[in-house]
Amino acid sequence: ARRLRAVPPPCPAAGVSQVTVRDALNQALDEELERDERVFLLGEEVAQYDGAYKISRGLWKKYGDKRVIDTPISEMGFTGIAVGAAMAGLRPVCEFMTFNFSMQAIDQVINSAAKTCYMSAGSIAVPIVFRGPNGASAGVAAQHSQCFAAWYGHCPGLKVVSPWSSEDAKGLLKASIRDDNPVVMLENELLYGVPFEMSEQAQSKDFVVPIGKAKIERQGTHVTLVSHSRPVGHCLEAAAVLAKEGVECEVINLRTIRPMDIETVEASVVKTNHLVTVEGGWPQFGVGAEICARIMEGSAFNYLDAPAVRVTGADVPMPYAKILEDNCLPQVKDIIFAVKKTLNI
């Protein structure tokens, strides 16, 4: 994957291993399939082919046809089957080859899965996970490069998670499978092969990351950077560059889009007095727009020393050409520019 830059420390601490996001997701699925016989995985090429991105590698051979199910290329059909199975008491994990294809099944995701618990006065739960790659990959143009965090984050009845690191990916997937609500898990294809440090605790079968809780990836005092998914890595790179110039950025990894942990963002803004949001999605009605609105409406607004700044994808469908694609996505230099703008330096 071009443009990909991981940020692993040179020497892992005792009990810490380097694990790719792909392997972390595979671990989570394996452990949950083993733990609960109601859990099953379905989607295109997830079984005999080991998954389009090898996330489900080895699971079909281990658990068989009834637990890991290859489906036809019909998102509306297999998503409807999965939602019905969840209503009947099973715990399906429904994989989309890309979340752009979830548009074929959005009626099932929103009208069937998200709304049923409310419309049934709580009598029908829909414990299902919709997961797969989200946002821009590399060189796959407009119909494969959209970020759906704002779309799905808009809808009551859903929980929406967006992991960055291997720890995020494993812990959030396990928490999502165990949750009694429909959860949309937005992964990033360009992160699948990236290794991150995982502690011994994170590799245990009991490890989960709580849904709805952000993580401060780097402490800082001058400006708050809030992001999710792959741009978290860009924020950390920008923070490392800015630190050499005496600017200390606090980097917050949202982890969950809905419900959003605005309390962690507010506490950081109270400390730093400046806010920059970073996302790969489009600007209008985006995740950053929601964060800025919530900060403005709350008490943390009184602590801002400058307007909040959003760094987003360009407001166009994704071009195919690499140079145009690069200019459509937030880069480290864009984050540095936004920080200097809000700090007036």
- The catalytic site residues sit at 75, 144
C-beta separation of 235 from 249 below 8 A: yes
C-beta separation of 172 from 163 below 8 A: yes
C-alpha–C-alpha distance, residues 151 and 120, integer Å: 24
Name the amino acid, one letter, at 210: P
C-alpha–C-alpha distance, residues 94 and 79, integer Å: 7
| Helix residue ranges per DSSP H, 107-227 | 115-119, 149-153, 166-178
* Count of C-beta atoms within a 10 Å radius of residue 270: 14
- Nearest Cα to 257, choosing from 152, 140, 156? 152
Beta carbons within 8 Å of 128's beta carbon, 6+ residues apart:
82, 83, 85, 86, 91, 92, 93, 94, 113, 182, 183
Span between the terminal Cα atoms of the chain, in Å? 34
Q: What is the DSSP letter of 300?
A: G
C-beta separation of 281 from 257 below 8 A: no
Residue 338 phi/psi, 5° resolution? -65, -40
Is the N-terminal amide bond of 72 cis, ω within 30° of 0?
no
- Nearest Cα to 337, choosing from 245, 200, 208, 211? 245
Residue 310 phi/psi, 5° resolution? -105, 135
Structure tokens at 331: 């880069």
